[in-house]
Chain A
């Protein structure tokens, strides 16, 4: 079974630039999560989708972050414009509907200079 795929693995940008991350969940997993993991901290949920609908985006900084999952499979997370404090690893995870276990991708390490 293929795992959660994410790209790119690394990205370096300057502040005020925009960036996008891509996630392909495990086949059949209707629930998809985006987390932000700042160095030295645990992952923090940014947004949760079920199919193509948003379940929870209460911790997503909506003035600069956006996410979509148009066809209920792949998802993209965008930051525009980026700030220095956005430097982090962005993790995507997926699960079955009602599933207790979340499966994580390798993450995208973002450095904002």
Chain B
């Protein structure tokens, strides 16, 4: 069975500082990994994905994530956070041969001005 862990319920950073949201996963075989963001009263919005290839993936709104197979991690990063990045972030994983996505519990990011 596949699973995702987001060890931090909340991340607080000052605007302009680097932002990191952690994610580790467990899956059989090669993983397909995703990050989604959710704003209040909105659905999930896709940020980026790792399928294969370069371990550093670039996505929307200046976000990037690094796939680390040995550590089974897929941490989300942004070099300089904005107040508008304040939202709920979800990491998700699925096996390469199955379309069933498993989500983490989410990390609430608060960026203070």
Please give the residue numbers on chain A whose beta carbons come within 8 Å of chain B beta carbons, in ascending order: 4, 31, 40-45, 48, 55-56, 91, 93, 95, 100-107, 109
Contact = CB atoms under 8 A, between A and B. Distances in A.
Contacts of A93: 43-44
Interface residues of B, number: 22
Contacts of A100: 32, 49, 51
Interface of B is mostly: strand
A42 B4 contact: yes
Contact of B101 (A41, A102, A105, A107): A102
Q: Which residue, A100, A103, A109, has most C-beta atoms of chain B within 10 A?
A: A100
A91 B45 CA distance: 12
Nearest to B88: A42
B63 to A, nearest CB: 15
A43 B99 contact: no
B90 A42 contact: yes
A42 B104 contact: yes
B43 A105 contact: yes
